[in-house]
Structure 1
Amino acid sequence: MSSKKVHIFDTTLRDGEQVPGCKLNTKEKVELALQLEELGVDIIEAGFPISSPGDFESVFQIASKIKDATVCGLTRAVQKDIEVAANALKPAVRPRIHTGIGSSDNHIKYKFNSTREEILERAIAAVKLARNYVDDVEFYAEDAGRADLEFLARLTEAVIKAGATVVNIPDTTGFCLPHQYAEKMSYLMNHVPNIDKAILSCHCHNDLGLATANSIAGAIAGARQIECTINGIGERAGNTSLEEVVMTIRKHPELDLYTDINPKLLLPMSRLVSDTMRMVVQPNKAVVGDNAFSHSSGIHQDGFLKEATTYEIIAPEEVGADTSKIVLTARSGRSALAYRFKNLGYGFDRNQVDELYEKFLKIADSKKEVEDADLKVLADSITVAV
Structure 2
Amino acid sequence: MSTMTASAPVSRSTQDKLIIFDTTLRDGEQSPGVTLHIQEKIEIAKQLSKLGVDVCEAGFPVASEGDFAAVERIAKEVGPLMVNREKLGKPMIICGLARAVKNDIQRAYDAVKHAPLHRIHTFLATSDIHLEHKLRISRDECIARATEAVRFAKSLCNDVEFSPEDSGRSDPEFLCKVLGAVIAAGATTLNIPDTVGYNTPDEYGRIIHYLIQHTPGADKVVWSTHCHNDLGLATANTLSGIMNGARQVEVTINGIGERAGNTALEEVVMALYTHPKTFPVYSHIDTQQIFRTSQLVANKTGMAVQANKAIVGANAFAHESGIHQDGVLKHQATYEIINPSVVGVPSNSLVLGKHSGRNAFRTRLTQLGYHLSEAEFQRAFERFKRTADSKKAVTDTDIVAIIDDELGALSQTPAIELRNVQVTSGTGVIATATVEVVSTDPVDGTESVQVDAAISRNGPIHAVFKAIERLVDVNVTLLQYEVRAVSGGSDGDALGQVSVKLCDVQLPHIHFNGTATDTDVVLASARAFMAAINRMILHSRAHGEKAANGENGVAAKTGVEGAEVIDRRKVGV
Structure 1 residue 228 and structure 2 residue 251: aligned? yes
Rounded Cα–Cα distance in structure 2 between residues aligned with 1:180 and 1:324: 44
SS in 2 for 1:280: coil
Partners of 2:176 and 2:216 within 8 A in 1: no
1:150-208 alpha-carbon deviations (Å, 9 max, x no partner): 11111111111110000110000000000110000110111113111101110000000
Structure 1 residue 167 and structure 2 residue 167: aligned? no
Partners of 1:293 and 1:324 within 8 A in 2: no
Which residue of structure 1 lines up, in the alignment, with residue 261 of structure 2?
238
Which residue of structure 2 lines up, in the alignment, with residue 102 of structure 1?
125
Rounded Cα–Cα distance in structure 1 between residues aligned with 2:173 and 2:348: 50
- Correspondence 1:225-374 to 2 at 5 A: 225-254=248-277, 255-323=279-347
Which residue of structure 2 lines up, in the alignment, with residue 191 of structure 1?
214
Rounded Cα–Cα distance in structure 2 between residues aligned with 1:143 and 1:98: 15
| Structure 1, unaligned runs of 5 or more | 326-370, 375-386
Q: Shift of residue 373 of structure 1?
A: 5.8
Partners of 1:316 and 1:324 within 8 A in 2: no
Which residue of structure 2 lines up, in the alignment, with residue 346 of structure 1?
none
Which residue of structure 2 lines up, in the alignment, with residue 92 of structure 1?
115
Which residue of structure 1 lines up, in the alignment, with residue 28 of structure 2?
16
Which residue of structure 2 lines up, in the alignment, with residue 213 of structure 1?
236
Rounded Cα–Cα distance in structure 1 between residues aligned with 2:74 and 2:188: 22
One-letter amino acid matched to 1:247: M
Indicate the larger mover: 301-310 or 277-286: 301-310
One-letter amino acid matched to 1:244: E
- Correspondence 1:58-207 to 2 at 5 A: 58-65=70-77, 66-67=79-80, 68-207=91-230
Partners of 1:264 and 1:317 within 8 A in 2: yes
One-letter amino acid matched to 1:169: I
SS in 2 for 1:75: strand
Partners of 2:32 and 2:259 within 8 A in 1: no
Partners of 1:157 and 1:193 within 8 A in 2: yes
Which residue of structure 1 lines up, in the alignment, with residue 17 of structure 2?
5
Q: Shift of residue 56 of structure 1?
A: 0.2
Which residue of structure 1 lines up, in the alignment, with residue 424 of structure 2?
none
Structure 1 residue 29 and structure 2 residue 41: aligned? yes
Which residue of structure 1 lines up, in the alignment, with residue 60 of structure 2?
48
Q: Shift of residue 103 of structure 1?
A: 1.2
SS in 2 for 1:287: coil
One-letter amino acid matched to 1:308: Q
One-letter amino acid matched to 2:16: K
Partners of 1:294 and 1:324 within 8 A in 2: no
SS in 1 for 2:336: coil
Indicate the larger mover: 216-225 or 301-310: 301-310
One-letter amino acid matched to 1:28: E
Structure with greater helix share of residues: 1
One-letter amino acid matched to 1:211: A
Q: Shift of residue 138 of structure 1?
A: 0.2
Structure with greater strand share of residues: 2
1:3-53 alpha-carbon deviations (Å, 9 max, x no partner): 411100000000001112211111111111111011000000000000000
Indicate the larger mover: 135-144 or 87-96: 87-96
Rounded Cα–Cα distance in structure 2 between residues aligned with 1:148 and 1:89: 33
1:50-78 alpha-carbon deviations (Å, 9 max, x no partner): 00000000010011021201000000001
Q: Shift of residue 304 of structure 1?
A: 1.7
Indicate the larger mover: 136-145 or 249-258: 249-258
The alignment-based identity, stated in percent, is 52
Q: Shift of residue 256 of structure 1?
A: 2.7
SS in 1 for 2:153: helix
The alignment's C-alpha RMSD in Å is 1.5
Rounded Cα–Cα distance in structure 2 between residues aligned with 1:267 and 1:203: 23
Q: Shift of residue 308 of structure 1?
A: 1.3
Rounded Cα–Cα distance in structure 2 between residues aligned with 1:322 and 1:213: 28
Q: Shift of residue 100 of structure 1?
A: 1.1
One-letter amino acid matched to 2:48: L
Distance 1:14 1:73, change over 3 A: same
SS in 2 for 1:97: strand
Q: Shift of residue 372 of structure 1?
A: 7.7
One-letter amino acid matched to 2:311: V
Partners of 2:59 and 2:97 within 8 A in 1: yes
| Structure 2, unaligned runs of 5 or more | 1-11, 81-90, 350-487, 492-573
Distance 1:136 1:372, change over 3 A: closer
Rounded Cα–Cα distance in structure 2 between residues aligned with 1:147 and 1:257: 27
Rounded Cα–Cα distance in structure 1 between residues aligned with 2:295 and 2:282: 24
Rounded Cα–Cα distance in structure 1 between residues aligned with 2:205 and 2:150: 26
One-letter amino acid matched to 2:75: A
Q: Shift of residue 116 of structure 1?
A: 1.0
Which residue of structure 2 lines up, in the alignment, with residue 378 of structure 1?
none
SS in 1 for 2:99: coil
Which residue of structure 2 lines up, in the alignment, with residue 349 of structure 1?
none
After the TM superposition, which segments of 4 or more aligned residues of structure 1 sit over 4 Å from their partners? 371-374
Rounded Cα–Cα distance in structure 2 between residues aligned with 1:314 and 1:110: 47
